């Protein structure tokens, strides 16, 4: 079995991208220690839309 550490620097401009990335990484989390650095630059208008939907 493989083991190790993966460091990922992720720049996102859409909240959906964070969810997609986490879905891709879930299978890897069983074998690897993953350090995920997320830099999110989400436009103010989109933030407002997300807040209103919930």
Q: What residue ranges do the domains of the chain occupy?
A: 5-53
Q: What's the pLDDT at 2?
A: 66
> What pLDDT is recorded for position 54?
45
The CA distance from 6 to 28, in Å, is 9
- Segment holding 8, helix H or strand E: strand 5-12
C-alpha 17/C-alpha 38 separation (Å) is 10
The whole-number pLDDT of residue 12 equals: 78
Regarding pTM above 0.75, the answer is no
Distance between CA atoms of residues 7 and 9, nearest Å: 7
How confident is the prediction along the chain (54 residues), in pLDDT tens digits per residue? 567 888 878 787 777 777 887 888 888 888 888 887 878 776 655 555 555 544
The CA-based angle 21-28-17, given to 5 degrees, is 0
């Amino acid at each position: 079995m493989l083991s190790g550490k993966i460091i990922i620097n992720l720049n996102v401009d859409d909240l959906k991208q964070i969810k997609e990335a986490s879905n891709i990484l879930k299978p890897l989390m069983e074998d690897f220690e993953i350090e995920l650095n997320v830099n999110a630059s989400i436009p103010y208008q989109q933030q407002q839309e997300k807040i209103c939907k919930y």
